Amino acid sequence: MNTALKLSGYGLGMLALFGAAIGIGSAVAPGTLAENPAVHAATTVP
């Protein structure tokens, strides 16, 4: 098996993994801190 083919397969696998993680994260906890000021205020240091 060619090294370039192995690295390409690894790269595509990682891309799919991170894409799935982003999709699941968006489904579970949609939104950002900017959309919820109470959460942002609680996590900032004065």
Q: What is the pLDDT of residue 19?
A: 94
CA–CA dist 17, 13 (Å, integer): 6
Q: What is the pLDDT of residue 44?
A: 57
Q: What is the pLDDT of residue 40?
A: 56
Q: What is the pLDDT along the chain (46 residues), one digit of tens a residue?
A: 799 999 999 999 999 999 999 888 888 876 655 566 666 555 655 5
pTM (two decimals): 0.57
CA–CA dist 1, 8 (Å, integer): 12
